[in-house]
Amino acid sequence: MNLEVIRQDTPGCSGKIFLNSAGASLMPKSVVETTIKFLYEEQELGGYAAAVQNPGIINQFYEETAKLINTKPSHIAFVSSSTDGYAKALSSIDFREGDCIITTNDDYISNQIAFISLQKRYHIEVIRVDNLPDHELDLEAFENLIKKYNPKLIAVTHIPTNSGLIQNIEGVGKLCKQYDVLYLVDACQSVGQIVVDVEKIHCDFLTATGRKFIRGPRGTGFLYVSDKVLNKKMYPLFLDSFGAQWTAFDDFQLNDTAKRFEFFERPYAALAGFAEALRYANAIGMDQIENYNRKLTDTLRINLQNYDFRVLDQGNRLSSIVTFCQPDGRVENIHKVLSDQKVFFKENSRQDALIDFTSKNVDHAIRLSPHYFNTMEEIERVSQLLENINH
């Protein structure tokens, strides 16, 4: 991994310290160039002809995504965001009154709202599994609840948006496979940051977005679906002519692949840029990216703790999302120092993570999310800027 080349490929690195890849990361210039080139073709040819003349880069999206998460291209669908893919996955499940979803306290806000919406509409039960004292998922509790409730779905967010926790999705996946329970994983914050392997996770659905750690354009994402989903002829509630063929006045035939979860209309220029972002990450190698990211965030957390900040990340495995506040829970001074010095960050509020922040008794947290284009010098610089806030 050549950091100098990577930073040259990332013009947004200059003039600031960018630590918000968990929000919307900096695109490599090749991603922007690929997107713009496609737009110019649409300008000259119209959108339909431009798509027809570029099957290679469109297919590249499926191939590079499959390579990134260790699956086949036929298991990948393009979606506009992780939430879009998540909603399509949920809509493919035939929920009935009395059904049960098992999830965690740390699932993403939009997912929690979706579960509550299903609860209100279909009168299903939503059960959240408490964490162990070391903040890891309680797999024994998961298994007991599976035996008791025979859930229609288990849903787990790999890395919550509000903390550095990496949840044990592989352990949950083994249980789902053992008891033949549908398994939905939100990997929005993990794909592009750490190695993600759907064969090891044993999930039936996995969602991710392009704009975060994959470093693609906004309005892009993907949905992975398993053989089980395809073989059971599961499909989203609303299909169009891309997901199915109209074969009779009152019937249709599903697309054999995960493309049944796609719509005909999509932003092809953004898809082309996303394909290039995926290629860029694969060319470096996710193992190298993960190892380097860990060094950055380990250093940052140690520095923050040494300077008496309250680091809120808990768990045995932590990610490139670092959340913290002052000892009294305030963040205003941190916010001002970072903003004044052109450090890009995110402030999370209790509403973003109602259960987690309530349990931690905080209303706000500063979130820093370094990525592999950041330098150790930047981490030390940010640490120095914050050094005297608590003294």
Query: Measuring CA to CA, how many Å separate 200 from each of 69, 169, 177, 297?
Result: 10, 9, 11, 25
Is the sign of the CA dihedral 290, 296, 298, 301 positive or negative?
negative
Quick check: 359 pLDDT over 90?
Answer: no
Q: What are the pLDDT digits (tens) for 69-92? A: 999 999 999 999 999 999 999 999
161 DSSP 8-state letter: T
Query: For the whole model, what pTM was predicted?
Result: 0.96
Average pLDDT rounded to a whole number, residues 356-381: 94
Quick check: 349 pLDDT over 90?
Answer: no
Residue 1 pLDDT class (50, 70, 90 cuts) = confident
Q: What are the pLDDT digits (tens) for 333-343? A: 999 999 999 99
Containing H/E element for 116? helix 109-122
Give 56: exposed, middle or buried? Use CB within 10 Å, 0-12, 13-18, 19+: exposed
**At 141, is the secondary structure helix, strand, or coil?**
helix
* Beta strands, E only, the chain: 17-18, 76-79, 100-104, 125-129, 153-157, 182-186, 205-209, 221-225, 244-248, 251-254, 310-311, 322-325, 343-344, 346-349, 364-368
Q: What is the largest CA-CA distance in the chain?
A: 74
Average pLDDT rounded to a whole number, residues 363-372: 96
Give the whole-number percent of the chain exceeding pLDDT 70.
100
Q: How many helices (H) and strands (E) does the chain have?
A: 15, 15
Quick check: 130 pLDDT over 90?
Answer: no
Quick check: 382 pLDDT over 90?
Answer: yes
Q: What are the pLDDT digits (tens) for 274-283? A: 999 999 999 9
- For the chain, what is the radius of gyration of the CA atoms? 21
Q: What are the pLDDT digits (tens) for 28-48? A: 999 999 999 999 999 999 999
- Residue 255 gets the label, from left (phi > 0), alpha (psi -120 to 50) or beta, of beta
Rounded CA-CA distance 260/140 in Å is 36
Q: What contacts 24+ positions apart, CB below 8 Å, involve 198-201?
A: 198/69, 198/70, 198/71, 198/75, 198/224, 198/226, 199/70, 199/71, 200/70, 200/170, 200/173, 201/169, 201/170, 201/173
Instruction: Write phi, then psi, for 32 (nearest 5 degrees).
Output: -65, -45
Give the whole-number percent of the chain exceeding pLDDT 90.
91
Rounded CA-CA distance 358/352 in Å is 11
DSSP code string of 58-76: HHHHHHHHHHHHTS-GGGE
Residue 311 pLDDT class (50, 70, 90 cuts) = very high
Q: What are the pLDDT digits (tens) for 97-108? A: 999 999 999 888
Rounded CA-CA distance 140/133 in Å is 14
Rounded CA-CA distance 223/267 in Å is 16
- SS3 of the chain: helix, strand, coil, percent, to 5: 45, 20, 35
320 DSSP 8-state letter: S
Rounded CA-CA distance 204/373 in Å is 32
Query: Measuring CA to CA, how many Å separate 334 from each of 300, 326, 340, 368?
Result: 15, 8, 10, 11
Q: What angle (nearest 5°) sits at the alpha carbon of residue 76, between those of residues 70 and 78?
A: 135
Quick check: 273 pLDDT over 90?
Answer: yes
159 with 105: CB under 8 angstroms? Answer: no
225 with 75: CB under 8 angstroms? Answer: yes
Residue 134 pLDDT class (50, 70, 90 cuts) = confident
Quick check: 355 pLDDT over 90?
Answer: no
Rounded CA-CA distance 370/26 in Å is 11
Helices (H), 224-348: 227-231, 268-284, 286-306, 332-340
Residue 139 pLDDT class (50, 70, 90 cuts) = very high
